[in-house]
Structure 1
């Protein structure tokens, strides 16, 4: 049985991965937070107060629960990073360094998975699909801190024999996705359409999307079944146009409440996910139409 520590368990990725692991069974899951966010009601999960800025707190948690696997999904969001870049460095970079040092001192981790972002990729004028080897750039405080954290994860993995994987999702949508940030627009639009309310998705163009439950399934795979000592992955996704998404939502809910702006974000058109699919052939990838139908049923 694996003893899995979820750092950032109250967020979308942490929650969906927890659900995926619980569905598979046979694991003990410990979720830590600083106590600032309400914990989801999952009786099978042990909720433990811990602080990513305190190495002693992290080390004692690893030892107390005999942790074998770690998911690091805790981070400040883009808007918060822009407003408080020094705090972003403390949490996203120093916090990651603290967790890595605690793992090094503990010395018994079988796999660490770090959640980064596809926003780290440098976007060229043709907005092509990107691979894990495509150029990256510190576009803003969020991506700069994510790239710095990635470098630390790779360093600790290769120098201190810590098996680790970096996951770079693009835009995640689903009912577990909060409303914070403009990239939550698709999720918010679906909720609004279900209530017969108007909503404008604040961007346009074509971008890669991941259904939240799929992210949970695929992160769980990377956590439990990775064949590589160290690897960076683009998780499976669909490249979709925002105009097409808008049409699909309006059609599914028989309304015309949803529209979108033409603002183009500096994101690639999509990601090349072939490396992940090769290493994890039992990956999850739900089409947008199927995901939309699932969400509609859940929102009734």
Structure 2
């Protein structure tokens, strides 16, 4: 049985990974800066620490005999745009602090870092991209995520730290929350099920991941990675936002779901063969099934993950 430290345990990735790990009988320690637990899940040990304070991280690692670490804490795109210097402090310096603490601790069997597929340069033909595709820095968020990836890779090689980097595109689902424009798919599903109108703030074709699947992928990467260092695109579905609107309007005719013409600088999809080859027991929930799960007769109220401040 593993003991996993979740850095960013109150966010969508942290919550879903925690759920997957608890189902398999592992112990989860969730890190928060304040003295109140932020994770809404039971059976989780909460510890007060801060990635801006490497000594507090090292103390948490020692106190709870941590075996694996998930680093999913970061400022979102809009917050990075508003305050680039804070983006550097949290996303880059915070990652460096965590890596330094892990290096001194020396007992972690695997670090998993949640990055983003927004780092890829969009090919001229919008084709799918694999992990070897060129990257492009378009904003402070992708710049800091790429820098953090490089730090993780550096420590993996120079400090013998087993590490895995995961790149999701757009995550949707009950734990996604409503922050950020990419939450528009999640909001549209709930609005439609309530018979309300809604406009998704973007359009075009891109790659989507159901939140529960994302938690499963992270748990797999934490516990079953076959390589000392690896970088993976996460499995998902390439979907056109127009088709999502059409599906929701058909399923919930009392609502009217539309989208704007805005396209994100994302490729049409991710090539996920590497992940599927290394983790053959991977689940992948199609949108239609996800909608059904999210909108049953009495759906749970969506959790609202809190952002790292």
TM-score by length of 2: 0.94
* Post-superposition offset of 1:264: 1.1
Equivalent-residue separation in structure 2 for 1:253 and 1:64 (angstroms) = 51
Q: For residue 169 of structure 2, what is the aligned residue in structure 1?
A: 170
* Post-superposition offset of 1:133: 0.4
* Post-superposition offset of 1:28: 1.1
Q: For residue 208 of structure 1, what is the aligned residue in structure 2?
A: 207
Q: For residue 303 of structure 2, what is the aligned residue in structure 1?
A: none
SS at match of 1:47: strand
* Post-superposition offset of 1:38: 6.1
SS at match of 1:99: helix
Q: Deviations over 1:34-64 (max 9, x none)?
A: 1298623322100111101001000000000
**Aligned residues of 1:10 and 1:37 also touching (Cα < 8 A):** no
Q: For residue 2 of structure 1, what is the aligned residue in structure 2?
A: 2
- Comparing 2-11 with 188-197, greater Cα deviation is found at 188-197
**Aligned residues of 2:178 and 2:184 also touching (Cα < 8 A):** yes
Q: For residue 299 of structure 1, what is the aligned residue in structure 2?
A: 299
**Aligned residues of 2:5 and 2:70 also touching (Cα < 8 A):** yes
- Comparing 224-233 with 251-260, greater Cα deviation is found at 251-260
Q: For residue 307 of structure 2, what is the aligned residue in structure 1?
A: none
Q: For residue 24 of structure 1, what is the aligned residue in structure 2?
A: 24
SS at match of 2:133: coil
Q: For residue 50 of structure 1, what is the aligned residue in structure 2?
A: 49
* Post-superposition offset of 1:124: 2.2
Change (3 A) 1:270 1:37: farther
Equivalent-residue separation in structure 2 for 1:175 and 1:56 (angstroms) = 34
SS at match of 1:271: coil
- The aligned length equals 299
Change (3 A) 1:266 1:41: closer
Q: Deviations over 1:172-217 (max 9, x none)?
A: 0001001111101000111111222211001110000000000000
**Aligned residues of 1:194 and 1:299 also touching (Cα < 8 A):** no
Tell me how large the CA RMSD over aligned residues is.
1.2
User: Does residue 253 of structure 1 match 2:252?
Assistant: yes
Equivalent-residue separation in structure 2 for 1:89 and 1:221 (angstroms) = 29
TM-score by length of 1: 0.97
**Aligned residues of 2:126 and 2:267 also touching (Cα < 8 A):** yes
Equivalent-residue separation in structure 2 for 1:254 and 1:157 (angstroms) = 52
Q: For residue 80 of structure 1, what is the aligned residue in structure 2?
A: 79
SS at match of 2:216: helix
Q: For residue 62 of structure 2, what is the aligned residue in structure 1?
A: 63
Q: Deviations over 1:219-268 (max 9, x none)?
A: 10000000010000001110000000111112222334211111111001
Equivalent-residue separation in structure 1 for 2:157 and 2:252 (angstroms) = 50
Instruction: Identify unmatched segments of 5+ residues in structure 2.
Output: 301-309
**Aligned residues of 1:4 and 1:69 also touching (Cα < 8 A):** yes
**Aligned residues of 1:191 and 1:299 also touching (Cα < 8 A):** no
Q: Deviations over 1:112-165 (max 9, x none)?
A: 000000000011221110100000011100000000000000000011110000
Instruction: Identify unmatched segments of 5+ residues in structure 1.
Output: none
Structure 1 segments (4+ residues) deviating >4 Å: none
User: Does residue 100 of structure 1 match 2:99?
Assistant: yes
**Aligned residues of 2:10 and 2:40 also touching (Cα < 8 A):** no
Q: For residue 284 of structure 1, what is the aligned residue in structure 2?
A: 283
**Aligned residues of 2:31 and 2:49 also touching (Cα < 8 A):** yes
Q: Deviations over 1:61-114 (max 9, x none)?
A: 000001000000000000000000000000000000000000000000000000
SS at match of 1:248: helix
